Structure 1
Amino acid sequence: MNYEIIVTCAVTGAGDTVGRHPAIPVTPKQIADAAIEAAKAGATVAHCHVRDPKTGKGSRDVALYREVVERIRESDTDVIINLTAGMGGDLEIGPGEQPMEFGTGSDLVGPLTRLAHIEELRPEICTLDCGTLNFGDGDYIYVATPAQLRAGAKRITELGVKAELEIFDTGHLWFAKQMMKEGLLDDPIFQICLGIPWGAPADTTTMKAMADNLPAGATWAGFGIGRLQMPMLAQAMLLGGHVRVGLEDNIWLDKGVPATNGSLVQRAVEIIERLGGRVLTPAEGRAKMNLKPRG
């Protein structure tokens, strides 16, 4: 069991939650404010995507990331910044017998283009989604090939940014360990991502199987989506890991009660403390994850 917990708050994501919740952060100011809100509620890390302010859809615009990061860094609230590098892997297969007629949701770019904002802003942590995945019941696939992942991992390491490896299925973990064997990654963090159809399910057996297959001494966290967010938080802590909450993964605090990032972090802190643990400060989190000084 882990008694000293890093809490990551994933504050907005890129999913279609806008319109299904009264206050999903969309603009850079809203996203930065959400990260600050989460930190003030006790979060160690803020994990940030950006969205097109006009449409609310996920974006790769470096200028939007720059504004979010600058607003957080200029605030008087300390929090570890973790930026997604997962955008740019979207492929919407064409319908029926026209699979090559890719849909308007496609946004497929190379592994280094996915890191453009990381190159400029040098956050303390960025994510690397460690494999291709059927995402939901439609024709959407997230694409991350072995060659793309090797190129991305190598560049993240060269930049001195800590890689958080997003593990959505068992093969992703297998390949993540292979990249470590090849020397492409330097002491990464593992994030076990459960409950996304059709990746690994959010249950005790699956989380334990993945945790048992991590490299010895690895720093890891785990989460479940939707109503399984808090049960999987407790499960990760019991298995020795850290935790993640936030509106990216779950928009409800209780049945019929919309959450905020702050309220989800507060709930997480309460569970952790009731289990006998405590949440690490950003300074303690930096030491625990061996983060390099920024700049």
Structure 2
Amino acid sequence: MSQRKVIISCAVTGSIHTPSMSPHLPCTPDEIASEAIAAAEAGAAILHLHARDPADGRPSPDPELFLQFLPRIKQATDAVVNITTGGSAMMTLDDRLAAALRAKPEMCSLNMGSMNFGTYPALDRIKSFTHEWEPKLLEASRDAIFRNTFKDIEFILRRLGEEDGARFEFECYDVGHLYTLAHFRDRGLVKGPLFVQFVLGVLGGIGPDPENLIHLKTTADKLFGADYHFSVLGAGRHQMPLVTLSAILGGNVRVGLEDSLYLGRGELAKSNADQVRRIRTILEALSLEIATPAEARALLALKGGDQVGF
């Protein structure tokens, strides 16, 4: 599991934040492409991508929207494209998989279980919304469950993994998700090296305490030994402290406007590249080297950018 170079992932837009929360959130295909390319130029080796309806910024699973920015990103960068299979809790499984099945990327995200996923507390912080759908989507999270059953996970692993050759960013929002991943590893449905994303600070998942990150890593060490690499996603204001701790502990980092809209206390990030540059500065100050896309591919045993469907 030890490595000398740190992989920076950048999650460009996601489905959690809404346009009223930040004027810098990329929503159109052109904005998503430009933001992703700039993040790669700043040092991100992996680009984690969702799509949004360009008319009003709402999360969209439409493969046609993904195909408006995926070829541009591939043409302009060598970065690994990682397409969501999480989408949003309001999408069906078929919706969530549509873009990945069409694009056949090197990597997909995979949430390792069903869970409550609460974004409704944002209703107390946002004074006014630009679009009618925004408060409705946030309120809906009060009574919604993000679904990924064992059967769902099996299907994703077989269809995208075995058939299409994608490898996965295994998103683990709690300790139990690590044991679920170990279950699928023991059954032979996943093989190392695993890329495990510890997710801290989402309401419904494990809290953003440094002690929880240590516990997640200790548990993963016990379950996976040397056959995994870990990264950390810290939600909101916990982003930079937790991903910095990840690097200190020997892990990788994930930043981007999906995870946090801010660069620092009270300062909105004006771009994804701003966050990439900020964490790169921190990593280099710690005498850590940044992994290139080619080094990330080798480390994670990816199939290569010439094997994708876009």
Task: With the length of structure 2 as denominator, give the TM-score of the two structures.
Answer: 0.85
- TM-superposed deviation, 1:119: 2.1
In structure 2, distance between residues paired with 1:67 and 1:205: 42
Higher helix share: 2
In structure 2, distance between residues paired with 1:201 and 1:146: 24
The amino acid across from 2:8 in the alignment is V
- TM-superposed deviation, 1:175: 0.5
- Conserved? CA contact 2:104–2:160, under 8 Å: no
In structure 1, distance between residues paired with 2:17 and 2:213: 26
User: Is the counterpart of residue 161 in structure 1 residue 150 in structure 2?
Assistant: no
2:86 corresponding residue in structure 1? 86
Question: Any idea what the Cα deviations from partners look like across 1:162-196, whole Å, max 9, x if unmatched?
Answer: 11111011111110110111111132311111100
Q: Where does structure 1 lack aligned partners over 5 or more consecutive residues?
A: 91-105
2:289 corresponding residue in structure 1? 278
2:107 corresponding residue in structure 1? 125
Structural RMSD (CA) = 1.5
**Percent of aligned pairs sharing the same letter:** 36
The amino acid across from 1:81 in the alignment is V
2:230 corresponding residue in structure 1? 220
Q: Where does structure 2 lack aligned partners over 5 or more consecutive residues?
A: 121-141
User: Is the counterpart of residue 189 in structure 1 residue 198 in structure 2?
Assistant: no
Bigger drift between 136-145 and 56-65 goes to 136-145
- Conserved? CA contact 1:126–1:164, under 8 Å: yes
Question: Any idea what the Cα deviations from partners look like across 1:117-144, whole Å, max 9, x if unmatched?
Answer: 2222111110111111111152122111
User: Is the counterpart of residue 268 in structure 1 residue 279 in structure 2?
Assistant: yes
Q: Describe the SS at the equivalent of 1:163.
A: strand
Q: Describe the SS at the equivalent of 1:213.
A: helix
1:100 corresponding residue in structure 2? none
- Conserved? CA contact 2:45–2:80, under 8 Å: yes
- Conserved? CA contact 1:3–1:237, under 8 Å: no
Task: With the length of structure 1 as denominator, give the TM-score of the two structures.
Answer: 0.89
- TM-superposed deviation, 1:16: 3.1
Question: Any idea what the Cα deviations from partners look like across 1:81-126, whole Å, max 9, x if unmatched?
Answer: 11111126x2xxxxxxxxxxxxxxx33335xx53222222111110
1:133-282 correspondence to structure 2 within 5 Å: 133-136=115-118, 138-158=142-162, 159-187=164-192, 188-214=194-220, 215-217=224-226, 218-259=228-269, 260-282=271-293
Structure 1 outlier segments of 4+, above 6 Å: none
1:109 corresponding residue in structure 2? 93
Q: How many aligned residue pairs are there?
A: 276
